[in-house]
Structure 1
Amino acid sequence: MRVETNGHGIVTDDILSAEERGDEYLLMGLRLAEGIDPARYRAIAGRTLDRLQIARLVAEGAIAVADDGRLRVTLAGFPLLDAVVADLAA
């Protein structure tokens, strides 16, 4: 009904903070094969990802750092994606 009346089904339109936009970028980007670009995360969230946290997740086999610097979730890390995102966003 909303789509017919308004042309869309949006009920609310929330404005996200920079931190929330960064969290969304992590959550959505790490689900994709290409992963995320830490520089883009910094531009979106206004802060950098913790290098020690990245190193820990790499050592645990949950993520990999590509030659171009992009972070990707490994096959072993994918079932733990929510925890990986939480660790990176912390």
Structure 2
Amino acid sequence: MSKQIKVRKPAKAKVATNADKAEKLWLAGLGTVSVAQKMGAELAENMIGEGKAFQVRSESSHARFDRSAQEDREPREAGQGASAGNPQER
């Protein structure tokens, strides 16, 4: 019977991988700053427009959710009056 020997990768490989990821993240950040500087006012105006559009979408979806929740509550509230023995409805 022969024993199998597990070969482990050196720990340095993982450190190098993390360093590579950190460097790529740093470079992506620098690239973002560079693009923002080049685009300047145009980028700011685009972001403002996107923000306004997102706000409108989120407000309309919030309003739809509120209406739906209200519609869900109304049938239950109406049905609770007589069956719950509400003295005002007798």
- The reply to whether TM is greater than 0.5 is no
Flag the structure with more relative contact order, 1 or 2, with Cα contacts below 8 A and sequence separation at least 6.
1
What TM-score, normalized to structure 1? Answer: 0.25
Bigger share in helix: 2
Larger Rg: 2
Considering fraction of residues, name the structure with more strand.
Answer: 1
Q: TM-score, normalised by structure 2?
A: 0.25
